[in-house]
Amino acid sequence: MAEPLRFISFEGPEGSGKSTQAARLAARLRARGVSTVLTHEPGGTELGREVRRWLLHQGAAMSPEAEFLLYSADRAEHVRTVLEPALAAGSFVICDRFVDSSYAYQGYGRGLDLAWLRSVSDGILRGVRPSLTFLLDLPPERGLARLAGRDRLEGESLTFHRRVREGYRSLAQSEPERFVVLDAELPEDELEARIAREVISRWPSLSGF
């Protein structure tokens, strides 16, 4: 039986600790000699870094549609130049945010039509989708309190962030075979251990890592 595509994404609201856990998982895999690419969205490519500057700059005003299309441009470049080559080489790819972020933030948060978001995304993903997605869940009040500063999205209203959280929960409920929902308020070491156990269950060849 063929193993799943070696693509794992981390999702969650602001301040959930997903970047920390993505980095810990990548370090754990590399320590066992497993070829691993740790990347993120937006900003995982040279083009993406410029897009990220526009998307997250506090003073940048834009329509929800423009916001989504900028994320999509970043994602299209990311898929072609980072994800596809790494996966073709047999590496694990650990991605801090992927397309589910757009569905949660621009779909549920901004109110854009999910069918349209999925249609556009289908054209740029080229069949590249995570086999496993960890959703680090916590109330937005707790997550925002963890942040030292606020970028454009982090500075949105609490109501917006609550919609995003509910969006993530709905996405997870719709694909329980892909999503693993974890309490982001657990201690970091415990979260890391739970994540490692789940990864081993999907890729048994990694047993003991």
Is 15 annotated in a binding site? The answer is: yes
The two tokens of residue 188 are: 């970091």
CA 68 to CA 206: how far, in whole Å? 36
Q: State the maximum Cα–Cα separation within the chain, in Å, rounded to a whole number.
A: 51
**Cβ–Cβ < 8 Å for 25, 112:** no
Which amino acid is residue 30, in one-letter code? R
Is 16 annotated in a binding site? The answer is: yes
**Residue 25 neighbours by CB under 8 Å, 6+ apart:** 8, 94, 192, 195, 196, 199
Is 90 annotated in a binding site? The answer is: no
Is 19 annotated in a binding site? The answer is: yes
Q: What strands lie across the sheet with 36-40, from one edge to the other?
A: 36-40, 92-96, 7-11, 132-137, 179-183
Is 14 annotated in a binding site? The answer is: yes
Is 167 annotated in a binding site? The answer is: no
The helix/strand/coil state of 176 is coil
Q: Which residues carry a binding-site annotation?
A: 12-19
Q: Which residues are annotated as a binding site for ATP?
A: 12-19
